[in-house]
Amino acid sequence: MLYDSDIILADEPTGSLDRKNKEIVMRLLKKLQKENKTILMVSHDDESLEYCSRVVCL
């Protein structure tokens, strides 16, 4: 992350990553959430759901 922000917008953050790097990114986002950051993520990746505390389907 380049800047310290309270809200992080993540548009398909794992879209073109292999499994290993996908897990690294998702763990980073989860860590940021535990540091009281708000993560708004858009994804088509169902595996990412296990890292989310709230899911809204459109």
Determine contact, residues 27/52, Cβ cutoff 8 Å: no
What HEC string does 1-58 produce?
CCCCCCEEEEECCCCCCCHHHHHHHHHHHHHHHHCCCEEEEECCCHHHHHHCCCCCCC
Q: What residues does each domain of the chain span?
A: 7-51
Over residues 2-53, the pLDDT tens digits come to 888 999 999 999 999 999 999 999 999 999 999 999 999 999 988 898 999 9
Q: Please state the φ and ψ torsions of residue 51, each to the nearest 5 degrees.
A: -90, -10
pTM of the model: 0.84
